[in-house]
Amino acid sequence: MITFIKRYVSRFPYAIAGVVYALRSDFSFRVQVLLVFAILSAVAYFAWPLREIEWLALGLAYTLMLITELQNSALEEALDHLHPELHMRIGRTKDMAAGSVLLAAFFAVGAILFVVLT
């Protein structure tokens, strides 16, 4: 069991490196980290004090959006590497991945409205 835990924990630097790389090189991820954090901070300030369920809703919505943006960026980078020329089906794949980010953003806006209007 200890070996399993050590092997699992030894992979953390790769995940952290991926997030750091995204922060440094991906404009969309950087904007979502900074801008959305500022928006959520403003909501928290104006809707203070927040209940635990409201903190949870905002945190989950924010995390979902960041996760989908990371996945979208990773997919786009891999597809651009594998097939650098324009291709209709690859474009559709990238559009669908971007659509997942849009849906996550809608969910985040819904969570913000839930907190502000309740």
**Residue 76 is among the residues annotated as catalytic for this protein:** no
Q: Do 65 and 72 touch, CB atoms closer than 8 A?
A: no
Residue where the block lists tokens 């409205």: 113
CA distance 37 to 2: 37
**Given 52, 54, 69, 77, the catalytic residue:** 69
Positions annotated as catalytic residues are 69
